[in-house]
Amino acid sequence: MPIFGLLEKVAPSTRNTSVSFPLALSWVLGWMGTPLYLLSFGITVLVFDPLLRLGYRFGGYQVHQNGIRLMNRCLYQCLLLNGGRISWNTHQNLPQPGSATGTKVFVANHQSLNDIPPLIWKFRAFQPVLVSKAELASGVPSVSYNFKTGGVVAIQRKNPSQSLEAMRQLGRRIERSGESVLYFPEGTRSRDGRLGTFKSGGLEQLMKSVPNIELIPVAVHRSWELARWNFLPLPFGVTIRFDVLPSIHASAFEGDTTIKARAMMQAARQAIHQQLQPPLGI
């Protein structure tokens, strides 16, 4: 019996993989690459934690955020140790930071924590403020400290009133600062690549302060595969692809803030859904 046939009897199997060699081999190699990836990831957040604190104390918020962006670049490059890579496909010329087209809100489907570092690094020129679940606000080196300094806005997913108030305050902030927003409107991760419902309440709160918003959809492909075996191991050789899709401008829609926010979020979801076709992870 061929060696891959023997491996298939041991390794879990799933259709529609993004690796460029047999899934069973990805499983075997993953047992070698996963410890290297996890070790490098842990070392990165531990090393950056004191550096970020010093940067914020002596250099202020912008110095701290530059450190955060560099850390996120290092974090996603850890995937190289497990044969992974990041691929970008931009379907438009990204508007320049501070352009007159409006505040930028990058919205993406969410498949794993590995979605976040590449997005923060890619859009670093737009100074993205990440909207994330409050559970990460404590106990995670480097990451939790970023919540305290304002680089991340905490959302309590089981507390809608808190979530809406946090987005309302974020809207007032970006109106003054000119920062952008990185937002996952599904509200949770998809564990099989299926696209969930895009909630518009957060965008509506932002638009109360910044009505001239520019929504930039980003389709995330295959990130979910890294957790297909619950990290025991991480599949070896997964390529995560990001598609930056054409902007959706608030000025293209009519109606009050609620109607505009719903229509814009629906348009963003439809654009991402079309980009993910044929359906993945099914």
pLDDT at 63: 96
Closest CA to 166 of 178, 150, 177, 179: 150
d(CA 27, CA 233): 7
Mean pLDDT for the chain overall: 88
Helices (H), the chain: 3-10, 23-59, 61-77, 116-122, 143-149, 160-177, 201-209, 257-276
- In this predicted structure, the answer to whether residue 278 has a pLDDT above a threshold of 90 is no
Give pLDDT tens digits for 59-78: 999 999 999 999 999 999 99
> Which residue is associated with the tokens 């997964």?
238
Record the pTM: 0.88
Query: Is residue 81 within 8 Å of residue 44, measured between CB atoms?
Result: no
* Domains in the chain: ranges and CATH: 20-276 (3.40.1130)
Map residue 237 onto helix, strand or coil: coil
Give pLDDT tens digits for 175-231: 999 899 999 999 888 888 889 999 999 999 999 999 999 999 999 999 999 988 888
Q: Which residues pair with 104 in a beta bridge?
A: 214
